[in-house]
Structure 1
Amino acid sequence: MPITSEPLRKLGFLTIGLFDEADPAAGHESTLQVIQLGEELGFDSAWVRHRHLQFGISSPVAVLAAATQRTSRIELGTAVIPLGWENPLRLAEDLATVDVLSGGRLNPGLSVGEPRHYDHLAPALYPDTASAEDFSYRRVERLLGFIRGEKATDFSGTEGIEEYSPLVQPHSPGLADRLWYGGAGTRSARWAGEHRMNLLASSVVRVEDPDATEIDFAAIQARQIREFRAHHPLGADARVSQGLVVIPTDSATPEQRAKYEAYAAFRLPRVGKAHGPARMTFAEDLVGTSASIAERLYADAAFREVSEVAFALPFSFEHADYVQILTDIATRLGPELGWKPAV
C-alpha cells in the first residue's frame, strides 16, 4: 500500500446531472437518487455541476433544495455556480434558504468571469445592461458581503404591518465559512485565500508559463494550492478539495470496463497540452482497480497537498454505471486512501 502522511479525511463526489430533453424529470430524479446513494454509502459530500442552456442541471440550488428533503447528513455543494449569470443579492437569499433547509449542510462553490458565448447570450440575459455588467471578483465580493451580514439596504423597520430587515434573510450562521471558489489559475487561488474562502481544485488548470514545453498538471495544481494557503488566514489548515475524474473498475462488468477505458482514451489527447487563448490543460482520467488508482493518487503532487476530495463522475454514463462507480469508491478506493465512511 502507498505511504501517505495523512489519511483522506473527507470523500465526496461530483455529478453533472444529465437529462433527456423529452423527459427531464427522469434525469433529475436520477441525480437525487445518486445523492441519496452517496449518503447511504457514507460519502461526506455530494456536489452538482452547473449547466446553462444545456441538458444538465441549470438550477443546482433548486436541485439541492430537493436533496435536503431526501437526506439528513451528507453535505451538498455546487461546483460551481458561474456568477456571471446571477444577481448576488438574490443568490444570497437562495443559498441561505437552502442552507437553513439542509440544517447547515450547503457548500456553495462559485466562480466569476464573462458567461460563455456572451455575445449571443447578452440580449436575453442582460438586455439593458450588457455592456455595464461587472464580471470581476467584485461580483463574488458582493455575494460574500451579503452572506457575511453586510447591509443590502439602508431601509429597515416597520411599514404598516410589514417588517423589513436591512440584511439578507434568512441568515444562516456558518454558511460564510462554507463558501468555495473554483479557480484554475494562481491569481484566483491567491484571491480566494485573501478573501477567506475555501478552494475547489478541479481537473482543469491554467498553464501560466508561456515557455512550458512539458506540462505537469499535478505540479501546477500543487503550486496553486500552496499559493492559496500562503495567502489564507488559516494557512496550512485552509480547506482545499481536489476534483479529479476517478473511475474504479473493481466490481465493473467487462462491458462497463470497456466503456470506461474508451471514455478515458477519447479524452486523453487533452492531457499534457495547453488549449486555447486561456492555455488550459486537463488532468488524466484515472481508470482501473482501486489499488492502482490509489497508487497513482499517492504519486500525484496535488493530491498529497489535500485531505479531502470530490471525485467527478464521468459525463454521459448510465445510472447503473454511477451506482457501480460510487459503490467501488466508497467500499474499495476510499479505504485504500485511509478514509472511513461517515455515520
Structure 2
Amino acid sequence: MKNIGFLSFGHWSNDPGSATRSAQDVLQQSIELAIAAEELGADGAYFRVHHFARQLGSPFPLLAAVGTRTSRIEIGTAVIDMRYENPLYMAEDAGAADLIANGRLQLGISRGSPEQVIDGWRYFGYQPAEGESDADMARRHAEVFLNVIEGKGFAEPNPRPMFPNPPGLLRLEPHAPGLRQRIWWGASSNATAKWAASQGMNLQSSTLKDDENGKPFHVQQAEQIRIYRQAWAEHGHPHTPRVSVSRSIFPIVSDTDRQYFGRGGKEQDQVGVIDKTRAIFGRGFTGEPDQLIKELQADEAIAEADTLLLTVPNQLGVDYNAHLIGSILKHVAPGLGWR
C-alpha cells in the first residue's frame, strides 16, 4: 500500500491550449482539483512553489483554502524555497493553515531550485551571512523554522503587555501540535538526505537528483532513500519517517489520452548540468496500464518509498487531471499492490 497524491506546478500561460490563463485560474482550479482528488480516493494534494514565475508562489492562502474545502486529503508543498522565507512569519502562517485543515498539512521545504532571476532571495531582503552559501542560508532558515514550530517559549515577555501573558517565555502563535513531524526536506543529494534525517524531517525525493555515481536514476534514488533511513536510525528519532518520490505517469485509456500522450514522452533518464552540478532527471511513464504496471514494478525507488506524488499537467484543466488521477488509481495502482 502507498499513499498516492498529486503534485501541481501551477503553470499558467496565454497559450491557446491552456486551461489556465491567469493566476486566478490556477489558484481556483488547484482547489477544485484537490476536491476532485479527494473524491476519487487520492491521499494528497501537493503544490510546487516558485518565485518570479507564472506559477504558484505564496502557498499558505492556497493550502488554507484547500483545507476548508476538503476533509481527509493531505495538503502539502513540494517544495518551499527556504532562501526566500522569514522562518518566524512562516511558522505563524503554517500553524494557521494546519489548524484550519485539522492537522493535515505536510510541508515540503528545501534549498529550492534554479531561479527565474539572479539571486531572487535578495529582493526578498535576505542574503547569506559571511562565509555562507545560499544553500547554507536555506538550511539555517529551516533550522530556525523547525525550532519555533516545536511550540517552546523563546521570547522575553513585556513586563507591561497590552494583554495578560502566560508565565515564562512566549512562543509563536498559533501553535499547531504535531506539525513538526510533518515537515519534509526536498533533497537532491545523498548528503542533504542525511542532513534531513539528522533534523528529524521526512524526505521528499523528486524526479531530479545529483548524478553521484552514473547509475540509472531510480537506482540512485533508491540508494539515497536507504542512506536516509540508515541516518534516521542512527539519530534515534522516536517516530517513523516518511519518504515520497514523484513521477510523471500517463495511462492511455481513452482517445483523449492517446491524443495528448500517445506519442510517448521522455521515457529515458536525462542528464544535464544545473548550478554547475551534474544532475540526472528521471524518465516519464506513458502507455497502456498493463505496460505501465510492468515498468513501474522495476522502479526501485518507488518500491522504497511510502508516498508517490503524481506530477500533473495542470494546464489541461481540472476535468482532465481528475481523469488522469482516477485512471492511475483504478487501472495502475491495484496491479502494483498500491490499492
Superposition TM-score, scaled by structure 2 size: 0.86
Following TM superposition, by how much is the alpha carbon of 1:60 offset from its aligned partner in structure 2, in angstroms? 1.6
- DSSP 3-state at the match of 1:180: strand
Shift of 1:310: 1.4
CA spacing shift, 1:76–1:23, aligned 2, 3 Å: same
Q: Aligned residue for 2:12? A: 19
Distance 1:68 1:298 in 2: 33
Q: Which runs of 4+ in 1 moved over 6 A?
A: none
Distance 1:151 1:102 in 2: 24
Per mean C-alpha deviation after superposition, the further-off stretch among 156-165 and 306-315 is 156-165
CA distance in 2, matches of 1:114, 1:27: 21
**1:260 matched to which residue of 2?**
261
For residue 85 of structure 1, what is the amino acid of its counterpart? Y
Q: Summarize the Cα distance change of 1:218–1:123 in structure 2 as closer, same or farther, 3 Å threshold.
A: closer
For 1:117 and 1:33, locate their aligned partners in 2 and report how far apart those are by CA, in whole Å.
28
CA distance in 2, matches of 1:305, 1:338: 14
Partner SS state of residue 156, structure 2: coil
Letter in 1 for 2:197: G
Aligned length: 322
Q: What's the secondary structure of 1:46's corresponding residue?
A: strand
Alpha-carbon distance change, 234 to 299 in structure 1, aligned in 2, over 3 angstroms: farther
Following the alignment from structure 2 to structure 1, what is the Cα–Cα distance between the partners of residues 98 and 239?
Answer: 27
2: CA distance between counterparts of 1:122 and 1:226? 33
Shift in Å at residue 114 of structure 1? 8.3
Aligned to 1:4: none
Q: Does 2:176 match 1:181? A: no
In the alignment, what sits opposite 1:109?
Answer: 108
Structure-1 separation of matches of 2:121 and 2:300: 40
Q: Please list, as runs of the form range in 1=range in 2, the aligned pairs for 1:145-156 lying within 5 A after superposition.
A: 145-155=147-157
2:284 is matched with 285
Instruction: Give matches, 1:77-96, under 5 Å.
Output: 77-96=76-95
* CA-CA distance at 1:325 after TM superposition: 0.4
Residue 229 of structure 1 contacts residue 236 of structure 1 at CA under 8 Å; is this kept in 2?
Answer: no
Distance 1:114 1:77 in 2: 18
Q: What is the Cα deviation at residue 293 of structure 1?
A: 1.7
One-letter amino acid of the counterpart of residue 273, structure 1: V
Q: Which residue of 1 aligns with 2:197?
A: 193
Aligned 8 A contact 1:216 1:272 in 2: no
Partner deviation per Cα, 1:90-137 (whole Å, 9 max, x = no partner): 1011001100000000000000268735646355322xx535475242
Identity value in percent: 29
Output the CA distance in 2 between the equivalents of 1:339 and 1:149: 36
Q: Note the 1:1-343 alignment, pairs <5 A.
A: 8-20=1-13, 23-112=22-111, 116=115, 119=118, 121=120, 124-126=123-125, 130=127, 132=129, 135-155=137-157, 159-161=161-163, 163=165, 166-209=170-213, 212=214, 215-232=215-232, 233=236, 237-250=240-253, 252-253=254-255, 255-262=256-263, 264-265=264-265, 267=266, 271-276=269-274, 277-314=276-313, 316-340=315-339
Give the Å deviation of 1:148. 1.3
Residues 8 and 48 of structure 2 are in contact (CA less than 8 Å); yes or no, is this contact kept in structure 1?
yes
**Secondary structure at the counterpart of residue 61 of structure 2:** helix
| Alignment root-mean-square deviation, CA | 2.5
Cα distance in 2 for partners of 1:54, 1:326 equals 26
8 Å Cα contact 2:12-2:315 kept in structure 1: no
In the TM superposition, residue 322 of structure 1 has moved relative to its aligned partner by 0.8
* TM norm structure 1: 0.85
Shift of 1:166: 1.6
